[in-house]
Amino acid sequence: MRIRFALAMYAALMAANAANAANAANAANAANTAMPKTVEPTSECERAVVAKINRPVPEVERQENVEKALEYLHKTLKISPEQQPQWDVVAKTLRETNGRTAALYKQTRRTAANGARTAPDYWAFNVAEKQADLDTVTRMRDALLPIYASAAPEQKAAMDRWFGSKLPE
């Protein structure tokens, strides 16, 4: 989770830096002055990025995000009518595991809101989070293997690009 947060934060800060650089370039061109070599993100920008990343995602938005991801993958993989029953298993698995993970985070936020932020709470959450991640990955693998086995070469190539790109270098 920390790695995902760090990567998201890095990407957001780089995007903010690029936007600030573009604004500085426009200002430099308008004023016909030299553009600064680097532009640091503002503290307001950093706070906005952190707030966006850390905000609790409303249940409706979370479900919409899952459905959008499923729709995108369904179209990208060009799931055939014969593969639809296998795809339905994948979709059901993703919805269930995502819902369980959301419930874990919701419970943790509820505990934190009650003022209970102890070291054992932190360790318990980390263990529960890692167990939920392992369960999610295992269940998704088990759901995706049958559809991968029956996939056409172009579908396998798309799955390899999508999931294989997530492997460490």
Task: Transcribe 7-39 into DSSP letters.
Answer: HHHHHHHHHHHHHHHHHHHHHHHHHT-PPPS--
Contacts of 38 (CB under 8 A, 6+ apart): 21
- Residue 147 sits in the same domain as residue 71: yes
User: Residue 169: inside a domain, yes or no?
Assistant: no
End-of-domain residue from the set 11, 27, 53? 53
Give the three-state DSSP class for 82. coil
- Residue 97 sits in the same domain as residue 139: yes
Q: Which domain holds residue 44?
A: 2-53
Per-residue tens of pLDDT for the chain, all 169 residues: 444 444 444 444 444 444 444 444 444 444 444 444 444 556 777 667 666 666 677 778 888 988 999 999 999 999 999 999 999 999 999 999 988 888 888 887 777 777 767 888 889 888 988 999 999 999 999 999 999 999 999 999 999 988 887 777 7
User: Residue 108: inside a domain, yes or no?
Assistant: yes
CA-to-CA dists, residue 50 to 45, 53, 58, 98, 147, angstroms: 9, 5, 17, 22, 38
- Residue 12 sits in the same domain as residue 39: yes
Would you state the structure tokens that stand for residue 150, as one six-digit string?
Answer: 């029956």
- Residue 73 sits in the same domain as residue 147: yes
- Residue 89 sits in the same domain as residue 49: no
- Residue 69 sits in the same domain as residue 120: yes
- Residue 93 sits in the same domain as residue 15: no
- Per-residue confidence (pLDDT) for residue 133, from 0 to 100: 92
User: Residue 79: inside a domain, yes or no?
Assistant: yes
In which residue are the tokens 């932190």 written? 122
What's the pTM value of the predicted model, to 2 decimals?
Answer: 0.60
Question: What is the C-alpha to C-alpha distance for residues 142 and 146, in angstroms, rounded to an integer?
Answer: 8
